[in-house]
Structure 1
């Protein structure tokens, strides 16, 4: 089955450097087929015979062994990513794809914690919650967003990695090919 791996916090400045050619080679050595990458920010598309959760563990361990880095990895199947795109709860207002983020969560957050969050408190950003995603429209730009990715991890108690809508839809295209 086709899967998409999203690595958090790599190739940002001088830290956590992983060359994409090296990532593709690692994925092949780990037994993943048809591995490709998109951009330099840790996006990989591949075929696997194991679950997305198992792929997360295998890739994370492989990165630690190969590159000596502790990098959070979130994996979604092609079908799960297609559902994220189909849901698109902010389609009517998210006019600039680069300012529309999907924050992919490693697990479903505690519903009680989500219930405590008031989406209006994030204004001017618009926030909607999916099953294992947070959709964020940043009308003043991503850099001016009131809530950084690290906040979501702390507040929700799960790993998180964000991609803009352009990247999300491109990854789905790659997973479909």
Structure 2
């Protein structure tokens, strides 16, 4: 079984609420290389249930009894102890993730766009984040606020003209993690199946 599909169960399978942890900055550009099996083991050893990963970019689905904000603190501390590097973790419950998917602007994820969701680390709000966004390119880039997230898209045929790299160089970006719309849809499906 591949690491992206691997699932392990903790002591009390099926308990707690379904959640997804979006771990920022692993396996990107050769930095913070982490095998998904290592992430699964870390979560399992911390007694989270129904742990699985999706892709190699730090998407961990699991069940837990605590709420998302409490879990963020717990998981960040656990991963730093386990991996020896501080990592930003954004956690959304199944319902919170569904609300983000449901609130997407019309056409977000359409074939003529390259669409992403930028998840914001609590307490950063979409309004505060957007107030610090750099000027994006008219006719190429589009942004919209969502629940705990910002929807970002660029016209596919003009994607090389995007100015999103400006945001990625700003300090505020350290309080965000981005996933493609396709990844978000798959995570939503997997959360629904838990």
Residue in 1 that maps onto 2:90: 74
* Structure 1 gaps, min length 5: none
* Structure 2 gaps, min length 5: 1-16
Residue in 2 that maps onto 1:84: 100
Deviation at 1:169, TM superposition (A): 0.7
Q: How far apart are the structure 1 equivalents of 2:128 and 2:57?
A: 32
Q: How far apart are the structure 2 equivalents of 1:69 and 1:137?
A: 31
Indicate conservation of the 8 Å contact 1:74/1:106, yes or no: yes
Number of residues of Structure 1 aligned to a counterpart in Structure 2? 173
Higher-helix-fraction structure: 1
Tell which structure's C-alpha radius of gyration is larger.
Answer: 2
CA RMSD after TM alignment: 2.6
Deviation at 1:150, TM superposition (A): 2.6
Question: Normalising to structure 1: TM-score of the pair?
Answer: 0.85
Change (3 A) 1:115 1:68: closer
Change (3 A) 1:30 1:130: same
Residue in 1 that maps onto 2:14: none
Change (3 A) 1:22 1:94: closer
Residue in 1 that maps onto 2:10: none
Q: Deviations over 1:62-83 (max 9, x none)?
A: 1111111111100000000000
Change (3 A) 1:98 1:174: farther
Deviation at 1:105, TM superposition (A): 0.2
